[in-house]
Amino acid sequence: MSSVIETYYATVDDGRLKDAVALLAENVEFAMVLPAGANYGNGRAAMLDYLSGRPPVDRKHKVLRVAADGDLHFLHGSVTENGTKTTGYFVGVMHVDAAGLVDRYQVSFDAEFSLLPPDSSAKGVR
């Protein structure tokens, strides 16, 4: 069974942005820490605007590690474009409320740095 964070990224990758945002609480707070700067937002509509406003590319999130500790879900992965080119690595963390919806979400992305050494990135991939 997939965790909410895995389901979220898979749904985004399928292009079902409204379905992905439905996994979030109405008043979700989020922080996207990107090389160009941090983007902070509040609410499902703001997250949908963010996701819809990204450039149209064939972007996929490859899960390298995932973990959960109670109401916190963690995921480390890579981002690929057009099926082959790795554009970078990300760490996402979501807090899940009592209703099972994500009410806080933080992600950081770096074009160069993976938490995993190059020779271990395939181990534990799900």
What's the CATH number for 4-120? 3.10.450.50
Sequential pLDDT tens for the chain (126 residues): 679 999 999 999 999 999 999 999 999 999 999 999 999 999 999 999 999 988 777 889 999 999 999 999 999 999 998 888 899 999 999 999 999 999 999 999 999 999 998 766 554 444
Nearest to 34 by CA among 124, 88, 109, 119: 109
Q: Where are the domains of the chain?
A: 4-120
The pTM (predicted TM-score) of the whole model is 0.88
Strand partners, 79: 61, 88
